[in-house]
Amino acid sequence: MKPHEATVIHPEMFDKEKNDHDDLEICCDGCDIEYTLTDYQILKDNKKLLYFLYEDFLICHGCLFREISKSIPEGGETRLKILDYSQSYYLNFGDEGHNIEDELE
């Protein structure tokens, strides 16, 4: 089974010369949680929030985990490949929850 893929969104991916990070807001397409890029940087640095590009959606980590959990077949498992700049790693999801035997690549 091919793993789902999600890419970590970093505030520095947005051009500071074209966008004022104190004004530009990013919003989760799942739950509508919204922060300026400046606030998101603070939350991300303190490991409180991560946004991801998943399929064609920008979603927070909570919504991403819910979406992946919904895709688990009864009694089965699924994997999520996280792309973070040049590094990638896998999160494994199953009946017991998420982060089962995570693997770095």
Q: Express each pLDDT in 86-101 by its tens digit.
A: 898 888 888 666 664 5
At 4, is the secondary structure helix, strand, or coil?
strand
DSSP H helical ranges for 1-105: 37-45, 61-70
Contact 69, 93 (CB under 8 A): yes
pTM: 0.84
Q: Can you list the positions of beta strands (E) in the chain?
A: 4-9, 25-27, 34-36, 51-54, 57-60, 77-84, 87-94, 97-98, 103-104
pLDDT digits (tens, 9 = 90+) for 38-67: 999 999 999 999 999 999 999 999 999 999
